[in-house]
Each structure stands twice: as C-alpha cells, then as structure tokens.
Amino acid sequence: MTETVLLVGGGGREHAIARALADDCSLYACASNRNPGIRRLADGFETVEETDAVAITEFATEIGADLAVIGPESALAAGVADALDDAGVYAFGPRQAEARLETDKAYQRRFMREADVPGCPDFEVFDDMDAACAYIDEYDGDLAVKPAGLTGGKGVKVIGDQVTAEEAKAYLRDADYDRVVLEERLVGEEFTVQAFVADGEFRATPAVQDHKRAYEGDEGPNTGGMGSYSDTGNALPFMEPGDYEDALDVLDAVVDALPDYKGVLYGQFMLTADGPKVVEFNARFGDPEAMNTLPVLETPFIDVLTAARDGDPLPALAFSGEATVCKYAVPDGYPTNPDSGARIAVDEDGVGDALLYYASVDEREDGLYTTTSRAFAVVGLGDSIAAAEAEADEALSAAGDRVRIRHDIGKPELLEERIEHMTELRE
C-alpha cells in the first residue's frame, strides 16, 4: 500500500525531504511560501502558515495522510506535531514538550545538567538583564550570550569573537529578551550530527560542518547557514578517531533521558581540545545539513518513517560514501537587510550534475521572488570533498543576479585551516 505523507515547510531542508520521499509515497505539502521544487514533487500543495496547527491538521485529514514530516522549528514550537498526533496522523517530529530541547535554551541546558548528558558547558540563566551584565563583568573568561527562545540561528553573540563585553551588555539591555543563557565560550571546530529517533533508539548520519558567517573567510554576522560539507565517511577531516563516537554518546544520553522523543535529533557540537562539547540541540533536520545527509542516504527514508510510526526497530542506515558540498545563494543584503521581493532567475539546466534545492523563495505567476531568507542551494557530490566542491562551484553559474554566495565553503585551503586549527588546539 502506498503511504500518503504530508510534508510541513517550504525551505531548502523541506525540498531535500521531499526529494527523498517523492518516489516512494504519495506526497503532499503545505507551507507559507510556494517552493517550486516541492510543488513539482507533490501531488497536492496547500498555502498555509507553518504555525497554524488547526489548518495543517485539517489538510492532513482531508488528504488522508498516513503520517507527516515536520520541517521547521516554528511548527514544532507551535505544537503542530501534537495536533497531528491527536488527530491520528503520526508526526515524525517531537511534540511541543520534547521540542523544548530546541525551543528553550534555558530548558536545554538545565535538562543536560539534570540528566547528566556529557558535553555540557558551564552556564547560568538570567531573567534580569542587569544581573546578566554583572555576570559578564565577573566571569573569568569569554561567554556566549544566547536568548532562551528561537532566533533563527542569528541571536547568539560570542564575546571575544563577534562582540566585546561592552557590546554584549548593550545588546542585552537593548534586545528586550525575557531570559538569556550565558555560557562559557567554546573554542574549536563546530560540527553537527543528525539522528533519526523513535521508541528510545536512534540511527545516526555522517557528521557535517556548517558555515554560519555571512562572508568568505568566516567574516560578518551569523546567518541561518551559508553552506556545509560532509566527507566520504562518518567523520570530518579535522576529527580524530573517537570524536564521532563521543558525539554519538551524547545523543544516546539524550534519547535515554527523553524516551518519548521522536523525529530528528540534531546535535551541534564544538570539537574542543577536550573533545566534543554541546553548542545546542535542534529538534529537526538542519538547514543546510539536510541537503548533505539525505542525498547520500541509500536506505529509503520512507522506511525510517514507517518503522517509527509502527513501533518497529529503525532500519540500519546505508550511505553512498560520497562527499557533499552545499552552497547557498542568498538575497543581496542578507542577513541584516535582505533584498526581499526581488525577482530572480535560476538556470536549472546550468547546474550540471549537482543538485538544486529551492529554499525561501516564493513562486508567483510571473516568476520567482526572494523572501527575507536564503533563496536556493546547490549540492555537489563526489569521491572527495574537493571533487564535490568543484561540482558545486561549477553549478553556481545558475545563480544569476541579485544573490550572493560564499564560494570558499569546501575549498581545500579552508579545510586545511580547520585541520591546522584543531592541531594547534590539541598541542
């Protein structure tokens, strides 16, 4: 019997999910924007806000959905998984209570401390910004300043890297946050591991390194992610044997402490001189990391979903063994002042063998328009990171005008810098 699957969300992450599912099910989708890549793959598409749990549940019931996949964190925070589950549609995504692991950073850190999850940095939570500023003055070292709620990957300020202590205090006083988490600044190389979780077990995917900074050379403000890469195996070039397994131990501890968790558990780690430490957890696929992981997943993703729904053991995951490099095209001015509503042209035939994923664009009758976020991504695959990067870079001729790209992601010289950085830290 063909499964009917509802996909919630309209970004690049969701386009990757759609491509991983479309050949193996009857796929429907709903999102606030009309993503042309998703729309073409879906048997039906509904324009609806991702946080409108009632409308999404009504659409799921109308199409007779057997299960649903929730892409964005905003939907999880709004309780969309709860509403779908309660209506008898299995949602592959945590319910609102478990999604707090991402949506509430204060809860996340306290959970780690109470459950004795390894890799937790020193931290304190404040709802009084004057007290938080005093803590910055008193702390012996640099701190990361994190609003407790969702900020789309752009709310964190790191003292000693992005801002001075005085700038951090001004940020706290001006931003009008209810709660903030101040935690020790972690120094090293970041990487992420995404895992499929259901019924107290998980299956992990290869490590990925995202690039948050807006400009080449890791300069500029943080973004939702300008691009990312993965290697031919589970680890990355700057990792030593055992680093990946240490990250899995962290995920294992989380799953043990949250037996009702289901969906994707995304661990963002800083590989320090003392091993992996947890930067944060996300309760869904990363964007862009989904575009590195799903194209090389040889196990049908639908088999993961149905096993989770039916209470069967999750299937062992097989991967193609290819390296991947993902590079985003973003509107001019992104992330601080994005050129929203600009009409863009994408030469789909110009990407060659690379994969093209549409993201936060809106398809209208007269063409394709940018929103306030990233427009589209290309993903190269190859037998090495260098080969995948070359394929991705060649495909970027499809980008056209009115968008900007970080061309350095996956370049050999940037990878060498990462390796040298970790070597120096370990010495």
Q: Is there a single domain that holds both residue 132 and residue 92? A: no
Q: Which of 151, 184, 217 is the last residue of a domain?
A: 184
Model pTM score: 0.95
Q: Is there a single domain that holds both residue 288 and residue 411? A: yes
Q: How many whole angstroms separate alpha carbon 163 and alpha carbon 174? A: 15
On the question of pLDDT at 83 being above 80, the answer is yes
Q: Is there a single domain that holds both residue 85 and residue 126? A: no
Q: Is residue 324 part of a domain?
A: yes
CB 16 within 8 A of CB 32: no
Q: How many whole angstroms separate alpha carbon 225 and alpha carbon 283? A: 17
Q: Is residue 110 part of a domain?
A: no
Q: How many whole angstroms separate alpha carbon 204 and alpha carbon 249? A: 11
Q: Is there a single domain that holds both residue 229 and residue 325? A: yes
Q: What is the pLDDT of residues 89-133, one digit of tens each?
A: 999 999 999 999 999 999 999 999 999 999 999 999 999 999 999
Other CB atoms closer than 10 Å to residue 221's CB: what's the count? Answer: 14
Query: What's the CATH code of the domain at 330?
Result: 3.30.470.20
CB 28 within 8 A of CB 50: no
Q: Is there a single domain that holds both residue 303 and residue 376? A: yes
- Of 16, 21, 248, give the one whose Cα is nearest residue 6: 21
Query: What's the CATH code of the domain at 55?
Result: 3.40.50.20
Q: Is residue 274 part of a domain?
A: yes
Q: Is residue 325 part of a domain?
A: yes
- Of 117, 115, 112, 116, give the one whose Cα is nearest residue 125: 112
Q: Is there a single domain that holds both residue 179 and residue 196? A: no
Q: Is residue 106 part of a domain?
A: no
Residue 154's pLDDT is 67
Q: Is there a single domain that holds both residue 37 and residue 163? A: no
Q: Is there a single domain that holds both residue 25 and residue 150? A: no
Q: Is residue 376 part of a domain?
A: yes
Q: Is residue 427 part of a domain?
A: no
Q: Is there a single domain that holds both residue 163 and residue 198? A: no
On the question of pLDDT at 148 being above 90, the answer is no
Query: What's the CATH code of the domain at 136?
Result: 3.30.1490.20
Q: What is the pLDDT of residues 23-81, one digit of tens each?
A: 999 999 999 999 999 999 999 999 999 999 999 999 999 999 999 999 999 999 999 99
Band (pLDDT 50/70/90 cuts) for residue 153 is low
Q: Give the residue numbers spanning the domain of 63.
A: 4-101
- How close are the terminal C-alpha atoms of the chain, in Å? 57
Q: Is residue 426 part of a domain?
A: no
Average pLDDT over residues 399-411: 92
CB 7 within 8 A of CB 71: yes
Q: Which of 71, 101, 131 is the last residue of a domain?
A: 101
Q: Is there a single domain that holds both residue 68 and residue 136? A: no
Q: Which of 101, 134, 167 is the last residue of a domain?
A: 101
Q: How many whole angstroms separate alpha carbon 148 and alpha carbon 178? A: 8
Q: Is there a single domain that holds both residue 175 and residue 199? A: no
Q: What is the pLDDT of residues 307-344, one digit of tens each?
A: 999 999 999 999 999 999 999 999 999 999 999 999 99
Residue 252's pLDDT is 98
How many folded domains does the chain comprise?
3
Residue 108's pLDDT is 96
Q: Is there a single domain that holds both residue 180 and residue 198? A: no
